[in-house]
């Protein structure tokens, strides 16, 4: 069986969705995999809806656009309502329980994980770390498919210049999300 | 050889490819979904020792392109659908004057201003010349970032080989998606003796005249015959990707980003036992009609899938006429399709043609 994984990451514009999408894609590339990253571009702005799709595989990737992903990260309530029904059967969902209602998780159909990403980020000292916390939880759900270290090792490459001083804090947030993700 | 890949958008891949191909002039005007091209060129082109100009309009950008081409410089421009429409006058003049240039179109929804999403509604414009008069532009259709990079290198080579504008026709998906890309530089840049025609100052030699106006009786006819011979010679460049066509009973024909989305659908249906294959035209002009005709002769049925209301399907039907017809599935511009959207139409076409 070949290795193949698809993910949609969704939330408000400004939550750092494109950054963790890039980080996930970059980590997969560094593992020698094929990867596609597809942003939903256009009229997005801070506070609007934002999402991206990441596919990685050890085989050639056909479609970079995925309607029914194997996994999703939802960082707010509207994204939970919109994307949860689209997750492939036996797929998984990471719910930011700080901003979305984890009790709406479709545990009968999916593997569900809750992570209070905003709260954990604030505990770590910077509310903006919520995206990294959520991505850490995603790596937990991925299991052996991709190690968390692969993301930690790529932080420097994908972080914009002004965030380079936060590399170790970002890595800490990734690990916190990985450790604190709760299976529902 | 080192196989180092960088993770970039299709729009950035276009820029790297152009620089590797020796492009030293870029003229353009921003428009979604290709604005990363002028953005990156504004920095990278001067760093490469070339010139970047943000023109006051697409019409001006195309005019600047024609000027650079006449000087024998490797130059390109890029835009998206409405902007490429504005360039058509100059593209016709460049073809008529036999000038080499590369034009990138990251196709968005139309007609008119349409939307800023991905679409394939410019197929006719790209493959029929686009402007006035009897001319054609070689048209390459990348389906991803590596191809976008590699096709820029090929596009410059073809433009100078045939002394004709070459179009690279991507779309919003190809331009904005990111993939790992292996950068490379061709071992030599073949300018195909630009010295024999370029306008570079005529001191001490016969003057070179580059024009598309031929008023004397019979001269334009002779010029057109020469151009037609050139367009016929371009057929040597025809290219298509064939996936599992050998034993297929139904062949899906799709290009660009839609080609790779269709490839996912074809692979899935194959794994479920459906004898379906894919032809992805890589050159849209010249169109790979021989590939399709051979398959039609072997009794295959056809389904053309496009992100428009039906354009390339005309070329498919022309290619297979006498042997077969092609069904058509069009995904309406205004929304981007996923693999799932193609499963039903392919299954249905397979049933109908069984």
Contact A63/B7, CB-based, under 8 Å? no
Range 51-80 of A in CB contact (< 8 A) with B:
61-68
pLDDT digits (tens, 9 = 90+) for B42-58: 999 999 999 999 999 99
Mean pLDDT computed over A79-92: 95
Q: Does B343 touch chain A (CB under 8 A)?
A: no
- A82 Cα to chain B: minimum distance (Å): 17
- B312 Cα to chain A: minimum distance (Å): 20
- For B31, the closest chain A residue by CA position comes to A42
Is residue A46 over pLDDT 70?
no
What region, left, alpha or beta, does residue B255 occupy, with left being phi > 0 and alpha being psi -120 to 50 degrees?
Answer: beta
- B338 Cα to chain A: minimum distance (Å): 5
- Which of B264, B331, B344 would you mutate first to test chain A, the one with the most A CBs within 10 A? B264
Q: Give pLDDT, residue B2.
A: 46
For residue B179, give the nearest of A22, A35, A65 by CB distance.
A35
CB-based contacts of B34, cutoff 8 Å, min separation 6: B11, B78, B79, B80, B104, B106, B175
On chain B, the residues whose CB falls within 8 A of the CB of A37 are 7, 177-179
Range 112-141 of B in CB contact (< 8 A) with A:
116-117
To the nearest whole number, what is the mean pLDDT of chain B?
Answer: 96
Contact B338/A22, CB-based, under 8 Å? no
Percent of chain B's residues with pLDDT above 70: 99
Contact A63/B264, CB-based, under 8 Å? yes
Handedness of CA B127, B284, B78, B74 (dihedral sign): negative
Q: How many CB pairs under 8 A join A and B?
A: 72
- Which of B180, B182, B243, B269 would you mutate first to test chain A, the one with the most A CBs within 10 A? B180
Least confident of A96-105, A152-161, A169-178, B93-102: A152-161
Q: Does B252 touch chain A (CB under 8 A)?
A: no
Q: Give pLDDT, residue B189.
A: 84
Percent of chain A's residues with pLDDT above 90: 86
Token digits of residue B309: 């209301």
Do residues B290 and B315 make contact, with C-beta atoms less than 8 angstroms apart?
Answer: no
pLDDT digits (tens, 9 = 90+) for B105-148: 999 999 999 999 999 999 999 999 999 999 999 999 999 999 99
- For A39, the closest chain B residue by CA position comes to B177
What confidence category does residue B188 fall into, taking pLDDT thresholds of 50, 70 and 90? confident
Q: Give pLDDT, residue A18.
A: 94
The more confidently predicted of residues A161 and B179 is: B179
Do residues A139 and A77 make contact, with C-beta atoms less than 8 angstroms apart?
Answer: no
Q: Give pLDDT, residue A48.
A: 74
Range 180-199 of B in CB contact (< 8 A) with A:
180
CB-based contacts of A36, cutoff 8 Å, min separation 6: A25, A53, A54, A55, A56, A61, A64, B144, B177, B178, B179
Q: Give pLDDT, residue B354.
A: 65
For residue A66, give the nearest of B117, B263, B338 by CB distance.
B338
Is residue B1 over pLDDT 60?
no
pLDDT digits (tens, 9 = 90+) for B154-169: 999 999 999 999 999 9
Grouping H, G, I as helix, E, B as strand and the rest as coil, residue B187 is coil
Is residue B306 over pLDDT 90?
yes
Least confident of A159-163, B69-73, B202-206, B292-296: A159-163
**Of the candidates A67, A44, A23, A51, the residue with the CA atom closest to the CA atom of residue B32:** A44
Mean pLDDT computed over A10-37: 95
Do residues B267 and A60 make contact, with C-beta atoms less than 8 angstroms apart?
Answer: no
Q: Does B179 touch chain A (CB under 8 A)?
A: yes
Q: H or E segment at B168?
A: strand B165-171
What confidence category does residue A166 fall into, taking pLDDT thresholds of 50, 70 and 90? confident
Contact A65/B267, CB-based, under 8 Å? no
pLDDT digits (tens, 9 = 90+) for B324-342: 999 999 999 998 999 999 9
Phi, psi (rounded to 5 degrees) for B261: -70, -40
Is residue A45 over pLDDT 60?
no
What confidence category does residue A161 fall into, taking pLDDT thresholds of 50, 70 and 90? confident
To the nearest whole number, what is the mean pLDDT of chain A?
Answer: 93
- This model of the complex carries an ipTM of 0.94
Percent of chain A's residues with pLDDT above 70: 96
**Of the candidates A45, A6, A4, A2, the residue with the CA atom closest to the CA atom of residue A138:** A6
Q: Does B202 touch chain A (CB under 8 A)?
A: no
Q: How many other C-beta atoms are found inside a 10 Å radius of the C-beta of residue B16? A: 22
Domains, chain B: 4-236 (3.40.50.970), 239-353 (3.40.50.920)
């Amino acid at each position: 069986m070949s290795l193949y994984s698809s993910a949609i990451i969704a939330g408000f514009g400004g939550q750092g969705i494109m950054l963790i999408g890039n980080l996930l894609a970059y980590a997969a590339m560094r593992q020698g995999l094929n990867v596609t990253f597809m942003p939903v571009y256009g009229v997005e702005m801070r506070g609007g809806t934002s999402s991206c799709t990441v596919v990685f595989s050890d085989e050639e990737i056909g479609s970079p656009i995925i309607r029914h992903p194997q996994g999703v990260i939802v960082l707010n309530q509207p994204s939970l309502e919109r994307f949860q029904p689209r997750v492939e059967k036996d797929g998984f969902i990471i719910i930011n329980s700080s901003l979305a209602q984890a009790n709406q998780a479709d545990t009968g159909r999916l593997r569900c994980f809750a992570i209070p990403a905003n709260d954990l980020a604030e505990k770590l000292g910077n509310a903006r770390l919520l995206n990294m916390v959520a991505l850490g939880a995603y790596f937990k759900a991925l299991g052996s498919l991709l190690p968390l270290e692969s993301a930690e090792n790529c932080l420097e490459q994908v972080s914009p210049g002004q965030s380079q001083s936060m590399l170790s804090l970002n890595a800490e947030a990734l690990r916190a999300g990985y450790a604190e993700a709760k299976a529902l | 050889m080192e196989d180092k890949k960088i993770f970039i958008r299709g729009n950035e891949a276009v820029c790297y490819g152009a620089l590797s191909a020796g492009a030293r002039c870029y003229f353009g005007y921003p428009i979604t979904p290709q604005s990363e091209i002028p953005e990156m060129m504004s920095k990278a082109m001067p760093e490469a020792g070339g010139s970047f100009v943000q023109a006051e309009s697409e019409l001006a950008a195309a005019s600047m392109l024609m000027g650079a081409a006449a000087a024998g410089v490797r130059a390109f421009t890029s835009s998206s659908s409405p902007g490429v429409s504005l360039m058509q006058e100059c593209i016709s003049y460049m073809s008529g004057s036999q000038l080499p240039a590369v034009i990138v179109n990251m196709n968005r929804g139309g007609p008119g201003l349409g939307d800023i999403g991905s679409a394939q509604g410019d197929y006719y414009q790209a493959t029929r010349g686009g402007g006035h008069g009897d001319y054609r532009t070689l048209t390459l259709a990348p389906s991803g970032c590596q191809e976008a990079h590699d096709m820029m290198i090929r596009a410059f080579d073809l433009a100078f080989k045939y002394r004709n504008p070459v179009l690279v026709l991507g779309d919003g998906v190809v331009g904005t998606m990111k993939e790992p890309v292996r950068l490379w530089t061709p071992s030599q840049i073949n300018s195909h003796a630009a010295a024999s025609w370029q306008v570079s100052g005529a001191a001490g030699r016969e003057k070179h005249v580059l024009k598309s106006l031929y008023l004397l009786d019979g001269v334009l006819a002779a010029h057109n015959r020469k151009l037609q011979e050139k367009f016929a010679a371009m057929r040597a460049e025809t290219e298509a990707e064939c996936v599992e066509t050998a034993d297929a009973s139904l062949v899906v024909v799709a290009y660009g980003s839609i080609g790779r989305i269709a490839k996912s659908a074809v692979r899935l249906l194959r794994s479920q036992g459906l004898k379906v294959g894919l032809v992805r035209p890589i050159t849209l002009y010249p169109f790979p009609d021989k590939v399709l005709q051979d398959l039609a002769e072997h009794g295959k049925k056809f389904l053309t899938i496009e992100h428009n209301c039906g354009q390339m399907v005309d070329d498919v039907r022309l290619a297979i006429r006498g042997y077969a017809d092609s069904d058509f599935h069009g995904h309406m511009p205004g929304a981007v399709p996923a693999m799932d959207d193609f499963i039903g139409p392919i299954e249905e076409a397979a049933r109908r043609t069984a």
